[in-house]
């Protein structure tokens, strides 16, 4: 779904990598599940930061990191790119997508190389979708993309952009005839022998209303081909795991990877009433989901920026209406285990916008993107090992940050 020109992102797309290996919640990147409360997470070598100038152009930066902290040598990798880009961290490389209405165009950057030079732009014109909200690494020549606006699941070769497969099905989208398939994020359990891939579907209509079509659809990868798994073959259309919350934005594993958490929030654009916001726990084996935190009656509205952290914590950028007819934005800390939530930090920019938010699992630090009054940007850094109530430092940026992806 879009706010102005910018698409909403899942945790998969704005967040940090959540696993002792290659879990990308980034916010996207093909999220895998690991017990984050006990895993030893290796430090990141750096972070890719995408900044956007009023949706007309974007710049890709790379910030090296050492011992869990930015080194200060912010590098500019790409300038003058699309005003609506998307960034993934896959296989320790940065994938920068210039999204258009007719094609997917991307470059890759290997931070481990001395020059860190971007590759030539790779075009997948045949896909014609151009709006990936998440990406999942399957093998050296296979990457699964969730094309949100087009409602497509496509496997491409990351080396040349060629299409290997389009995963199609007659999806069950609930009782609303106008509902559409909107794949938002992927989830896969580490070391699982099932080969199952879980697709978080927002199931939205084009006018931003929501119904009962939000589900988790199940795929299976045998190393060559991705197939669709129907969880209830007694019905005509392909069935998924039914969800309670609307606009689901993140799916991530905590203590038990087989029972991931899904979070979703209503937005100012949603006309559904009542509009179910909150957090639910999914039982992948039973193909069921249970609401564990109900925020439907609260005033908070989401904007797509949410990440998962240690010990069952989520951090979401939310907004509430102010007395002047606008909104004030803040970071909400959600404790899934305690089934509670509280405001952590009010953002400097009162506008209802979706800035980057990322979490460094290895250093237990939260990075919150902000727009300053002069139009420039910054990352406010919360070092939870020292102080959980206010930023311990800031990282200045030439423009507001819209994406953060951590890189090994």
> Cα separation of 135 and 24, whole Å?
9
Query: Is the pLDDT assigned to residue 25 strictly greater than 90?
Result: no
Predicted local confidence at residue 31, as pLDDT? 42
First to last CA, the chain: 30
Following DSSP, what letter does each residue of 150-193 receive, concatenated?
Answer: TTEEEEE-TTT--EEEEE---B---S-TT----EEEEEEETT-S
Chain centroid offset of residue 112 CA: 24
pLDDT value of residue 267: 83
Greater pLDDT, 172 or 174: 172
Contact yes or no for 180/152 (Cβ under 8 A)? no
CATH number of the CATH domain containing 63: 2.130.10.10
Q: Which of 387, 384, 383, 379 is nearest to 403 (CA)?
A: 379
> What residues form DSSP beta bridges with 387?
none
pLDDT at 50 over 60: yes
Q: Which residues contact 305 (CB under 8 A, 6 or more apart)?
A: 9, 14, 27, 316, 317, 354, 355, 356, 357, 369
Say if residues 270 and 209 touch (Cβ distance below 8 Å).
yes
The total of structural domains in the chain comes to: 1
Instruction: Judge contact between 340 and 324, C-beta under 8 A.
Output: no
3 state SS of 311: helix
Predicted pLDDT at 339: 93
CA distance 158 to 60: 19
User: pLDDT tens, 175-190?
Assistant: 888 888 999 999 999 8
**Mean per-residue pLDDT over the chain, rounded:** 83
Distance in angstroms (rounded) separating the CA atoms of residues 6 and 8 = 7
Q: What are 344-350's contacts with CB under 8 Å, separation 24+?
A: 344/315, 344/382, 344/388, 344/389, 345/380, 345/382, 345/390, 345/391, 347/317, 348/372, 348/373, 349/400, 350/322, 350/326
Mean pLDDT over 297-310 rounds to 85
Question: Which of 347, 356, 354, 345 lies closest to 384, judged by CA?
Answer: 345
Q: What tens digit of pLDDT does each residue of 212-270 get?
A: 789 999 999 999 999 999 999 999 999 999 999 988 999 999 889 999 999 999 887 77
CA angle 89, 114, 160 (to 5 degrees): 50
Residue 32 is predicted with a pLDDT of 41
Residue 357 has pLDDT above 90, yes or no: yes
* Spatial distance between the Cα atoms of 362 and 365, rounded to a whole number of angstroms: 8
Higher pLDDT, 325 or 126: 325
List the one residue out of 337, 275, 345 whose CA is nearest residue 310.
337
- Nearest Cα neighbor of 294 from 343, 254, 252, 244 is 244
d(CA 394, CA 323): 30
Q: Are 12 and 186 a contacting pair, CB within 8 Å?
A: yes
The parent domain of residue 124 ranges over 2-407
Q: How far apart are the C-alpha atoms of 349 and 138, rounded to whole Å?
A: 39
* Rounded Cα distance, 363 and 310, in Å: 10
pTM of the model: 0.88
């Amino acid at each position: 779904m879009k706010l102005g020109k910018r698409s909403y992102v899942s945790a998969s797309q704005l967040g940090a990598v959540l696993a002792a290996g290659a879990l990308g919640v980034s916010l996207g990147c093909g999220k895998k599940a690991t017990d984050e409360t006990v895993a030893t997470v290796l430090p990141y070598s750096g972070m890719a930061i995408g900044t956007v100038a009023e949706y007309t152009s974007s710049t890709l930066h790379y910030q090296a990191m050492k011992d869990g902290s930015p080194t200060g040598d912010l590098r500019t990798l790409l300038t003058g790119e699309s005003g609506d880009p998307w960034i993934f961290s896959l296989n320790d490389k940065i994938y920068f997508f210039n999204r258009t209405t007719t094609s997917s165009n991307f470059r890759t950057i290997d931070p481990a190389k001395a020059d860190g030079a971007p590759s030539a732009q790779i075009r997948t014109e045949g896909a014609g979708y151009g709006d990936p909200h998440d990406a999942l690494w399957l093998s050296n020549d296979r990457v699964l993309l969730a094309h949100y606006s087009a409602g497509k699941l496509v496997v491409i070769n990351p080396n040349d952009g060629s299409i290997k497969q389009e995963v199609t099905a007659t999806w069950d989208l609930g009782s609303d005839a106008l509902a559409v398939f909107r794949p938002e994020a992927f989830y896969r359990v580490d070391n699982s022998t099932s080969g199952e891939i879980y697709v978080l579907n927002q199931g939205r209509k084009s006018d931003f209303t929501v119904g009962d079509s939000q589900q988790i659809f199940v795929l299976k990868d045998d190393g060559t081909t991705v197939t669709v798994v129907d969880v209830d073959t007694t019905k005509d259309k392909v069935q998924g795991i039914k969800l309670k919350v609307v606009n689901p934005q993140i799916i991530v594993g905590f203590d038990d990877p087989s029972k991931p958490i899904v979070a979703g929030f209503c937005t100012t654009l949603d006309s559904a009433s009542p509009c179910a916001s909150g957090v639910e726990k999914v039982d992948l084996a039973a193909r069921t989901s249970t609401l564990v935190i109900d925020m439907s009656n609260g005033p908070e509205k989401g904007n797509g920026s949410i990440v998962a952290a240690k010990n069952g914590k989520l951090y979401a950028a939310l907004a509430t209406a102010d007395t002047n007819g606008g909104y004030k934005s803040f970071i909400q800390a959600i404790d899934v285990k305690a089934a509670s939530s509280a405001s952590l930090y009010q953002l400097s920019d009162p506008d209802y916008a979706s800035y980057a938010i990322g979490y460094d699992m290895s250093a237990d630090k939260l990075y919150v993107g902000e727009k300053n009054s002069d139009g420039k940007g910054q990352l406010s850094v919360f070092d939870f090992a020292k102080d959980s109530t206010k930023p311990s430092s800031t990282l200045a940026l030439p423009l507001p940050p819209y994406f953060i992806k951590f890189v090994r």
